[in-house]
Structure 1
Amino acid sequence: LRGRDIKRYGYEFADLWLINTHNGIKEKGIPRIDVEKDYPAVKKHLDGYWDKIEKRADQGDTPYNLRNCAYLDDFFKPKIVWGNLNLRAAYAVAPEGMFVNAPCPMIVPADEYLLRILNSKLADYYIRNLSVTRNGGYFEYKPMFIEKLPVPPQKGTSPFSEKDSESQIDQKVYKLYGLSKEEIDFIERQ
């Protein structure tokens, strides 16, 4: 997924694919991708750039492999994803095996409670006040801003249901944070 593919509570897969020539996850027994055996056409293409890939400082076991990635296995789990630049909060859950490209951050594991809070008007107001505005009114939704959001611990079962409208979610989030009527009115006017 690219950032522009990610929508509020969902995504539109653009049918774009990548071949992740990862270096494996040795401690989990996942072998590196054998480009020569598994992707001979890719190897042939990359051979045309041998002078450059041979010298890569960030290569894996072979120049065809990516360097080790400490969080590679996180891509094989459900995760909350979002685009780095947005006009408003647009977080979604990407399923296991779905990859995002930089600068699309992710939170692993995916959590529906957190997803609803992140997409709420209150969280969006809070994060926008920390972030930077770019051309066209876009806001930077960088992890350094998102991680500052205080999230109330979930007590018991989630207060949210699959059938909640965005307005109902917002009202439940206001209650979780203990906002007064005046504070709610202020956020609703933003």
Structure 2
Amino acid sequence: MNIKQGDHYWELRACDYYNEFEKPKIIYPDIAKERRFTLDTEGYYLTNTAYFIPSSDKYVLGILNSKLVFNYYKRVSSVLGDPDKGGRMRWFRQHVSNIPIAKADDNTKKKIESNVDQILTVNVELKADTSELEEEIGIVKESV
């Protein structure tokens, strides 16, 4: 394997997926006590304490932030402490990529995407409580 690196120890090697950072993506932290997936449309670059999914699919974003997925994930992930009492979970990419996400019919998908759009808008513009919309995503998904 030929890894290109600079002449000095502080020079990093080239990354095959640099261009993915500049595209819309779902980002999330390495360690968190709750679900914290969000959509980056600004092209942020992440450090080693965050991961990303190269997708802007708002249906997937909504499902990843649902209570259903959270309850599943805290049973299969590495946890620092008790996940039901505020323990921190490790949101490793290899575990997140194995979260089962069911395909939805068009109406369900549109409803979840609409709720995600509203949550993103309210959070960005007003910093308001979006718990009702978030709860609705969980209800919609559980009925699928």
Determine if contact 1:86/1:141 at 8 Å carries over to the other structure.
yes
* Structure 2 partner of 1:159: 111
Q: 1:108-140 CA deviation, whole Å, 9 max, x = no partner?
A: 122110000000000001111111111571111
1:146 to 2:96 alignment: yes
Looking at structure 1, the residues matched to 118 and 77 of structure 2 have their Cα atoms a distance apart, in angstroms, of 31
Provide, for residues 28-60 of structure 1, a one-character-per-residue CA deviation record: whole Å limited to 9, x for no partner. xxxxxxxxxxxxxxxxxxxxxxxxxxxxx7624
Report deviation, 1:169.
0.9
1:72-111 equivalences in 2 (<5 Å): 72-111=18-57
The secondary structure found in structure 2 opposite 1:159 is helix
Question: Which residue number corresponds to residue 127 of structure 1?
Answer: 73
Structure 1 stretches (4+) deviating beyond 4 angstroms? Answer: 62-65
Aligned with 2:26: secondary structure? Answer: strand
Q: Which of 1 and 2 has greater Rg?
A: 1
Question: How far off its partner does 1:175 sit?
Answer: 1.6
Which amino acid in structure 2 is aligned with residue 169 of structure 1?
I
Q: Equivalent residue for 2:123?
A: none
* 8 Å contact from structure 1 (residues 89, 118) kept in 2: yes
Sequence identity (%): 26
Quote the RMSD (CA, aligned, Å).
2.2
Q: Is the 8 A contact 1:79 1:94 kept in 2?
A: yes
d(CA) in 2 for partners of 1:93, 1:163: 13
Deviation at 1:96, TM superposition (A): 3.8
Give the stretch that moved more between structures: 150-159 or 140-149: 150-159
Please give the alpha-carbon distance, in whole angstroms, between the structure 2 residues aligned to 1:96 and 1:66. Answer: 24
Answer whether contact 1:75 1:96 (CA < 8 A) is retained.
no
Consecutive unaligned residues of structure 1, counting only runs of 5 or more, are 1-56, 177-190
Calculate the TM-score normalised by the size of structure 2: 0.72
Q: In the aligned structure 1, how far is the partner of 2:87 from the partner of 2:4?
A: 36
2:77 maps to a residue whose letter is: S
Residues in 1 aligned to 2:80 and 2:20: alpha-carbon distance in whole angstroms: 30
